[in-house]
Amino acid sequence: MSAGINDLVIRLAEESDLAALIAIFAADEIGGHGDTTDDAAYPDYLAALRAIRASPNETLYVACLDGEIIGTFQTAILTKLVGRGASSLKIQAVQTRVDMRGRGIGAIMINHCIDEARKRGVKTIELGSNMARQDAHRFYERLGFEKRHYGFSMKLK
């Protein structure tokens, strides 16, 4: 890779990006999401990408450098009745390829989310992070995020 970080391109994810995205998620040792590069799982990923692309409130992005996908993140906008109808932007699945971490790519991706939220009149940005990701928590705090709520989840069978 000869391009510098200033050459990073953020764009909407396309079906042709799936293999690279799946590889990034499958390499995540902390997430515990069960992501895999097994070909048998490809239809699940394809169906998910198509559902995201069909949604007016969800977006999946890729970060590219020299034509290679090196990061990804997803956003969803939720309009709530509480807060007089305020909208929030939820950031999820923020991942940078392992060999590209520590170069400012994550900050560029998060700042892209912040810019998009402002353009859309969103009042709050929220993101979730696995409790084991202490480095990520420090990163988000450096970017101005505050720990304000406990999050709970339940896996359904």
Strands 9-12 and 58-65, bridge-based pairing: antiparallel
Least confident window among 51-55, 59-63, 71-75, 135-139: 135-139
Mean pLDDT of the region 125-148: 83
Q: Is the dihedral of CA 36, 40, 42, 44 positive or negative?
A: negative
Mean pLDDT of the region 8-32: 91
Any idea what DSSP says for residue 29?
T
Cα separation, 105 vs 112, in Å, equals 11
Percentage of the residues of the chain whose pLDDT score is greater than 70: 97
Check if the beta carbon of residue 25 is closer than 8 Å to that of residue 78: no
| The pLDDT value given to residue 89 | 95
Residue 63: phi and psi, rounded to 5, are -110, 125
pTM: 0.86
What CATH number labels 5-142? 3.40.630.30
Check if the beta carbon of residue 35 is closer than 8 Å to that of residue 72: no
